[in-house]
Structure 1
Amino acid sequence: MSDELTPLTEDFVDLYVDANEPPGSETPLVEAFVALGAQVRVRVWPTRRGPDELHWLFLVALPLQSFLGGFGGRLADDAYRRLKSALHRTPLDQAPEAPRPVVLQDTATGTRIVLGPEVDDEAYRKLRALDLARFRHGTLRYDATEARWCSVSDDPEDTGT
Protein backbone atom coordinates (compact mmCIF):
# COMPACT_ATOMS: atom_id res chain seq x y z
CA MET A 1 0.00 0.00 0.00
CA SER A 2 1.23 3.47 -0.85
CA ASP A 3 1.48 6.18 1.81
CA GLU A 4 -0.03 8.70 -0.63
CA LEU A 5 -3.69 9.63 -0.32
CA THR A 6 -5.37 9.31 -3.70
CA PRO A 7 -7.70 12.20 -4.55
CA LEU A 8 -11.15 10.88 -5.37
CA THR A 9 -14.30 12.29 -6.89
CA GLU A 10 -16.72 14.08 -4.59
CA ASP A 11 -18.82 10.92 -4.32
CA PHE A 12 -16.03 9.10 -2.51
CA VAL A 13 -14.61 9.17 0.97
CA ASP A 14 -11.47 7.25 1.87
CA LEU A 15 -11.35 6.19 5.51
CA TYR A 16 -7.89 5.20 6.70
CA VAL A 17 -7.78 3.04 9.82
CA ASP A 18 -4.78 2.42 12.04
CA ALA A 19 -3.75 -1.21 11.57
CA ASN A 20 -3.74 -1.64 15.36
CA GLU A 21 -7.45 -0.81 15.73
CA PRO A 22 -9.87 -3.69 16.26
CA PRO A 23 -11.94 -4.71 13.22
CA GLY A 24 -15.20 -2.79 13.03
CA SER A 25 -14.03 0.24 15.03
CA GLU A 26 -14.55 2.34 11.90
CA THR A 27 -18.17 1.21 11.40
CA PRO A 28 -19.84 4.30 12.98
CA LEU A 29 -17.91 6.64 10.67
CA VAL A 30 -18.61 4.49 7.62
CA GLU A 31 -22.33 4.45 8.45
CA ALA A 32 -22.38 8.23 8.96
CA PHE A 33 -20.80 8.97 5.57
CA VAL A 34 -22.89 6.35 3.75
CA ALA A 35 -26.05 7.91 5.25
CA LEU A 36 -24.94 11.22 3.70
CA GLY A 37 -24.72 9.60 0.27
CA ALA A 38 -20.97 9.02 0.06
CA GLN A 39 -19.29 5.89 -1.14
CA VAL A 40 -16.73 4.90 1.49
CA ARG A 41 -13.56 2.95 0.90
CA VAL A 42 -11.92 1.67 4.08
CA ARG A 43 -8.17 1.24 3.95
CA VAL A 44 -5.82 0.00 6.63
CA TRP A 45 -2.80 2.22 7.31
CA PRO A 46 0.32 0.15 8.05
CA THR A 47 1.66 0.05 11.59
CA ARG A 48 4.43 2.59 12.23
CA ARG A 49 6.85 2.94 15.10
CA GLY A 50 9.00 5.82 16.27
CA PRO A 51 8.62 9.36 14.91
CA ASP A 52 6.32 8.13 12.10
CA GLU A 53 3.89 6.53 14.57
CA LEU A 54 0.29 7.52 13.93
CA HIS A 55 -1.18 10.24 16.10
CA TRP A 56 -4.71 9.83 14.74
CA LEU A 57 -7.30 7.13 15.16
CA PHE A 58 -8.92 7.54 11.74
CA LEU A 59 -8.02 9.73 8.79
CA VAL A 60 -10.92 10.62 6.48
CA ALA A 61 -9.88 11.87 3.03
CA LEU A 62 -12.66 13.80 1.31
CA PRO A 63 -13.35 17.08 -0.49
CA LEU A 64 -13.59 19.21 2.66
CA GLN A 65 -14.97 22.39 1.10
CA SER A 66 -17.89 20.44 -0.36
CA PHE A 67 -18.43 18.54 2.85
CA LEU A 68 -18.29 21.59 5.11
CA GLY A 69 -19.74 24.32 2.95
CA GLY A 70 -21.67 22.60 0.19
CA PHE A 71 -24.56 21.47 2.34
CA GLY A 72 -27.69 23.54 2.75
CA GLY A 73 -28.82 24.36 6.30
CA ARG A 74 -30.86 21.27 7.18
CA LEU A 75 -28.53 18.84 5.38
CA ALA A 76 -25.51 20.44 7.07
CA ASP A 77 -27.19 19.99 10.44
CA ASP A 78 -27.87 16.34 9.63
CA ALA A 79 -24.26 15.82 8.48
CA TYR A 80 -22.98 17.40 11.69
CA ARG A 81 -25.30 15.29 13.87
CA ARG A 82 -24.27 12.08 12.12
CA LEU A 83 -20.55 12.88 12.29
CA LYS A 84 -20.77 13.87 15.96
CA SER A 85 -22.72 10.72 16.79
CA ALA A 86 -20.22 8.57 14.89
CA LEU A 87 -17.28 10.16 16.71
CA HIS A 88 -18.91 9.41 20.06
CA ARG A 89 -19.34 5.76 19.04
CA THR A 90 -15.70 5.31 17.97
CA PRO A 91 -12.96 4.49 20.50
CA LEU A 92 -11.85 8.15 20.37
CA ASP A 93 -11.68 8.62 24.11
CA GLN A 94 -10.76 5.15 25.34
CA ALA A 95 -7.22 6.28 26.15
CA PRO A 96 -7.82 9.48 28.16
CA GLU A 97 -4.13 10.08 28.81
CA ALA A 98 -3.49 10.60 25.08
CA PRO A 99 -6.67 10.39 23.01
CA ARG A 100 -6.06 10.04 19.29
CA PRO A 101 -8.35 12.21 17.17
CA VAL A 102 -10.19 11.66 13.92
CA VAL A 103 -8.62 13.76 11.17
CA LEU A 104 -10.40 15.07 8.09
CA GLN A 105 -8.04 15.65 5.15
CA ASP A 106 -8.95 17.63 2.07
CA THR A 107 -8.25 15.59 -1.06
CA ALA A 108 -7.51 18.75 -3.07
CA THR A 109 -5.13 20.64 -0.78
CA GLY A 110 -4.01 18.19 1.90
CA THR A 111 -5.28 20.53 4.63
CA ARG A 112 -6.12 18.55 7.75
CA ILE A 113 -8.74 19.26 10.40
CA VAL A 114 -8.25 17.55 13.75
CA LEU A 115 -11.47 16.47 15.50
CA GLY A 116 -10.52 15.69 19.07
CA PRO A 117 -12.53 15.50 22.27
CA GLU A 118 -12.32 19.31 22.71
CA VAL A 119 -14.52 19.88 19.63
CA ASP A 120 -17.97 20.83 20.92
CA ASP A 121 -21.16 22.03 19.22
CA GLU A 122 -19.85 25.59 18.88
CA ALA A 123 -16.62 24.32 17.32
CA TYR A 124 -18.60 22.37 14.71
CA ARG A 125 -20.68 25.46 13.86
CA LYS A 126 -17.50 27.48 13.44
CA LEU A 127 -15.95 24.72 11.35
CA ARG A 128 -18.91 24.76 8.94
CA ALA A 129 -18.46 28.50 8.47
CA LEU A 130 -14.67 28.29 8.15
CA ASP A 131 -13.20 29.58 4.87
CA LEU A 132 -10.65 26.90 4.03
CA ALA A 133 -9.23 29.08 1.23
CA ARG A 134 -7.57 31.14 4.00
CA PHE A 135 -5.38 28.14 4.79
CA ARG A 136 -3.07 27.09 1.97
CA HIS A 137 -1.88 23.95 3.75
CA GLY A 138 -1.28 22.64 7.20
CA THR A 139 -3.35 21.35 10.04
CA LEU A 140 -6.22 23.05 11.84
CA ARG A 141 -7.09 22.38 15.47
CA TYR A 142 -9.78 23.84 17.65
CA ASP A 143 -8.48 25.97 20.49
CA ALA A 144 -11.18 25.63 23.15
CA THR A 145 -9.62 28.38 25.29
CA GLU A 146 -9.82 30.93 22.48
CA ALA A 147 -12.94 29.33 20.94
CA ARG A 148 -11.51 29.35 17.41
CA TRP A 149 -9.94 27.13 14.77
CA CYS A 150 -6.18 27.70 14.54
CA SER A 151 -3.54 26.65 12.07
CA VAL A 152 -0.70 24.65 13.54
CA SER A 153 1.42 24.87 10.40
CA ASP A 154 4.77 26.60 10.28
CA ASP A 155 3.41 29.21 7.85
CA PRO A 156 3.01 32.54 9.70
CA GLU A 157 0.37 33.65 7.15
CA ASP A 158 -1.98 30.82 8.19
CA THR A 159 -4.25 32.20 10.88
CA GLY A 160 -7.35 30.91 12.61
CA THR A 161 -10.83 32.37 12.68
Structure 2
Amino acid sequence: MTDAPLPAELLLDRDAPDDLRRDLVSALEGLGVHTARVRRAVDHRGAAEIPWIMLASLPLQAFLSGLGAEAVKDSYTALKDVVRRSARTTDPAAPATSAPRPLVLQDRRTGLRVVLEPGLPGEAYDQLLGLDLADFREGPLHYDREQGRWRSELDEAAAG
Protein backbone atom coordinates (compact mmCIF):
# COMPACT_ATOMS: atom_id res chain seq x y z
CA MET A 1 0.00 0.00 0.00
CA THR A 2 2.72 2.49 0.98
CA ASP A 3 6.49 2.43 1.25
CA ALA A 4 6.50 2.97 5.01
CA PRO A 5 3.83 1.46 7.26
CA LEU A 6 1.21 3.90 8.50
CA PRO A 7 1.24 4.22 12.30
CA ALA A 8 -2.01 3.52 14.12
CA GLU A 9 -3.41 3.26 17.61
CA LEU A 10 -6.29 0.96 18.36
CA LEU A 11 -8.71 1.57 21.21
CA LEU A 12 -11.06 -1.31 22.01
CA ASP A 13 -14.26 -1.28 23.96
CA ARG A 14 -13.95 -3.43 27.06
CA ASP A 15 -16.44 -5.88 25.48
CA ALA A 16 -14.48 -6.39 22.24
CA PRO A 17 -13.29 -10.00 22.13
CA ASP A 18 -9.60 -10.79 21.67
CA ASP A 19 -10.20 -12.69 18.42
CA LEU A 20 -11.82 -9.60 16.88
CA ARG A 21 -8.83 -7.51 18.04
CA ARG A 22 -6.37 -9.98 16.51
CA ASP A 23 -8.30 -10.08 13.23
CA LEU A 24 -8.47 -6.28 13.00
CA VAL A 25 -4.75 -5.90 13.72
CA SER A 26 -4.01 -8.56 11.09
CA ALA A 27 -6.26 -6.90 8.50
CA LEU A 28 -4.71 -3.48 9.17
CA GLU A 29 -1.19 -4.90 8.89
CA GLY A 30 -2.13 -6.40 5.53
CA LEU A 31 -3.25 -2.93 4.48
CA GLY A 32 0.10 -1.36 5.37
CA VAL A 33 -0.77 -0.17 8.87
CA HIS A 34 1.50 -0.77 11.85
CA THR A 35 -0.57 -0.87 15.02
CA ALA A 36 1.84 0.66 17.48
CA ARG A 37 -0.45 0.57 20.48
CA VAL A 38 -3.57 -1.43 21.39
CA ARG A 39 -5.45 -0.64 24.57
CA ARG A 40 -8.87 -0.98 26.19
CA ALA A 41 -11.21 1.97 26.72
CA VAL A 42 -12.43 3.12 30.09
CA ASP A 43 -16.04 2.31 30.90
CA HIS A 44 -17.42 5.87 30.86
CA ARG A 45 -18.10 7.89 27.72
CA GLY A 46 -19.90 11.18 27.22
CA ALA A 47 -23.44 11.25 25.87
CA ALA A 48 -22.26 12.65 22.51
CA GLU A 49 -19.81 9.82 21.87
CA ILE A 50 -20.37 7.21 19.17
CA PRO A 51 -20.97 3.82 20.84
CA TRP A 52 -18.14 2.07 18.94
CA ILE A 53 -16.69 -1.36 19.55
CA MET A 54 -13.26 -0.44 18.11
CA LEU A 55 -11.63 2.88 17.29
CA ALA A 56 -8.58 2.99 15.02
CA SER A 57 -6.64 6.26 14.95
CA LEU A 58 -4.35 6.58 11.91
CA PRO A 59 -3.40 8.87 8.99
CA LEU A 60 -6.81 8.27 7.45
CA GLN A 61 -6.51 9.88 4.00
CA ALA A 62 -3.29 7.97 3.26
CA PHE A 63 -4.93 4.78 4.49
CA LEU A 64 -8.05 5.21 2.34
CA SER A 65 -6.01 6.18 -0.72
CA GLY A 66 -4.00 2.97 -0.50
CA LEU A 67 -6.98 0.65 -0.14
CA GLY A 68 -7.67 0.61 -3.85
CA ALA A 69 -4.44 -1.19 -4.71
CA GLU A 70 -4.91 -4.72 -6.04
CA ALA A 71 -2.17 -6.02 -3.73
CA VAL A 72 -4.28 -5.33 -0.64
CA LYS A 73 -7.53 -6.84 -1.92
CA ASP A 74 -7.55 -9.80 0.53
CA SER A 75 -6.69 -7.61 3.51
CA TYR A 76 -9.40 -5.13 2.53
CA THR A 77 -11.89 -8.01 2.44
CA ALA A 78 -10.64 -9.06 5.89
CA LEU A 79 -11.24 -5.53 7.21
CA LYS A 80 -14.81 -5.56 5.90
CA ASP A 81 -15.28 -8.96 7.58
CA VAL A 82 -14.13 -7.53 10.93
CA VAL A 83 -16.67 -4.71 10.55
CA ARG A 84 -19.41 -7.24 9.76
CA ARG A 85 -18.45 -9.44 12.72
CA SER A 86 -18.45 -6.51 15.12
CA ALA A 87 -22.25 -6.47 14.77
CA ARG A 88 -22.38 -9.75 16.68
CA THR A 89 -20.24 -8.39 19.50
CA THR A 90 -22.60 -6.96 22.05
CA ASP A 91 -22.57 -6.32 25.75
CA PRO A 92 -24.58 -9.12 27.43
CA ALA A 93 -26.07 -6.50 29.78
CA ALA A 94 -27.24 -4.31 26.89
CA PRO A 95 -30.91 -4.41 25.93
CA ALA A 96 -31.75 -6.64 22.96
CA THR A 97 -32.89 -3.54 21.07
CA SER A 98 -29.50 -1.80 21.24
CA ALA A 99 -27.89 -1.04 17.89
CA PRO A 100 -24.73 -2.86 16.79
CA ARG A 101 -21.59 -0.92 17.61
CA PRO A 102 -19.44 0.08 14.63
CA LEU A 103 -15.75 0.18 13.92
CA VAL A 104 -14.64 3.83 13.78
CA LEU A 105 -11.65 5.12 11.84
CA GLN A 106 -10.30 8.42 13.13
CA ASP A 107 -7.84 10.66 11.36
CA ARG A 108 -4.89 11.19 13.67
CA ARG A 109 -4.27 14.77 12.48
CA THR A 110 -7.78 16.25 12.19
CA GLY A 111 -9.81 14.01 14.51
CA LEU A 112 -12.38 13.44 11.75
CA ARG A 113 -14.17 10.12 12.26
CA VAL A 114 -15.58 7.70 9.71
CA VAL A 115 -18.14 5.25 11.07
CA LEU A 116 -18.07 1.78 9.50
CA GLU A 117 -21.37 0.27 10.51
CA PRO A 118 -21.97 -3.45 10.13
CA GLY A 119 -23.91 -4.31 7.00
CA LEU A 120 -22.66 -1.46 4.81
CA PRO A 121 -23.26 -2.17 1.13
CA GLY A 122 -20.29 -2.69 -1.18
CA GLU A 123 -20.89 0.68 -2.81
CA ALA A 124 -20.24 2.38 0.55
CA TYR A 125 -16.77 0.84 0.71
CA ASP A 126 -16.16 1.66 -2.96
CA GLN A 127 -17.03 5.32 -2.35
CA LEU A 128 -14.91 5.37 0.78
CA LEU A 129 -11.81 4.59 -1.30
CA GLY A 130 -12.24 7.77 -3.32
CA LEU A 131 -13.45 9.99 -0.50
CA ASP A 132 -11.54 13.25 -0.09
CA LEU A 133 -11.58 13.95 3.63
CA ALA A 134 -10.64 17.58 2.97
CA ASP A 135 -14.26 18.04 1.81
CA PHE A 136 -15.44 17.57 5.40
CA ARG A 137 -14.89 19.83 8.40
CA GLU A 138 -16.69 17.97 11.14
CA GLY A 139 -17.70 14.41 11.61
CA PRO A 140 -18.61 11.84 12.14
CA LEU A 141 -19.08 10.67 8.58
CA HIS A 142 -21.83 8.09 8.09
CA TYR A 143 -22.96 6.34 4.96
CA ASP A 144 -26.49 7.42 4.11
CA ARG A 145 -28.14 4.39 2.48
CA GLU A 146 -31.08 6.39 1.12
CA GLN A 147 -28.87 8.98 -0.56
CA GLY A 148 -26.16 6.47 -1.44
CA ARG A 149 -23.29 8.66 -0.19
CA TRP A 150 -21.02 9.45 2.74
CA ARG A 151 -22.08 12.55 4.63
CA SER A 152 -21.54 14.62 7.73
CA GLU A 153 -24.79 15.89 9.14
CA LEU A 154 -22.89 18.44 11.22
CA ASP A 155 -21.24 19.90 8.11
CA GLU A 156 -24.60 20.09 6.39
CA ALA A 157 -26.21 21.81 9.38
CA ALA A 158 -23.35 24.33 9.59
CA ALA A 159 -23.71 25.11 5.88
CA GLY A 160 -27.35 25.83 6.64
Same fold (TM over 0.5): yes
Unaligned 5+ runs, structure 1 = 1-8
Identity of aligned residues (%): 40
Q: In structure 1, what residue type is equivalent to 2:10?
A: L
Gap change, CA 1:49 and 1:13, over 3 Å in 2: closer
Asked if 1:113 is matched to 2:114, the reply is yes
Asked if 1:39 is matched to 2:42, the reply is no
CA contact (8 A) 2:83 2:118 kept: no
Aligned residue number for residue 83 of structure 1: 79
1:27 deviation in Å? 1.5
Question: How many positions carry a matched residue from both structures?
Answer: 150
1:80 deviation in Å? 2.7
RMSD: 2.7
1:76 deviation in Å? 5.5
Cα distance per residue 1:122-146 (max 9 Å; x no partner): 1000111111101122210001111
Asked if 1:19 is matched to 2:14, the reply is yes
Specify the SS of the correspondent of 2:137: coil
Specify the SS of the correspondent of 2:157: coil
Aligned residue number for residue 148 of structure 1: 149
Gap change, CA 1:93 and 1:70, over 3 Å in 2: same
Q: In structure 1, what residue type is equivalent to 2:108?
A: T
Cα distance per residue 1:71-116 (max 9 Å; x no partner): 553145445323112223x332345731111100000111100000
Runs of 4+ aligned structure 1 residues displaced above 6 Å come to none
Q: In structure 2, what residue type is equivalent to 1:61?
A: S
Q: TM-score, normalised by structure 1?
A: 0.78
Q: In structure 1, what residue type is equivalent to 2:79?
A: L
Specify the SS of the correspondent of 1:133: helix
